[in-house]
Structure 1
């Protein structure tokens, strides 16, 4: 019974996917943090341009 517990691979795949998802989340957060100030300026200019284009 104890041997079966240690040799079972039933939850291995889900743990691997969870670790991969966490790694991707960390990479996204790091990328957004590194370019955070630049992205704010880009989105601010885009929003201003869009609002001026749709205003009567």
Structure 2
């Protein structure tokens, strides 16, 4: 179980949309879980690219 903070950003150029999302994950230890199991905050960056086929 964890809390996740996501900060997305998107830029559209014509029919193409570029996206980037920063994610910060803060795990929450459950009562039955061992604390030495590698818990700790983590972060990562994800990217996306999409193309619109039609419309405005």
Query: Which category describes the TM-score, using the shorter chain as reference length?
Result: under 0.3
Bigger relative contact order, structure 1 or 2 (CA pairs below 8 A, ≥6 apart):
2
Larger Rg computed on CA atoms: 1
TM-score by length of 1: 0.20
Select the structure that is richer in helix.
1
More strand by share: 2
TM-score by length of 2: 0.20
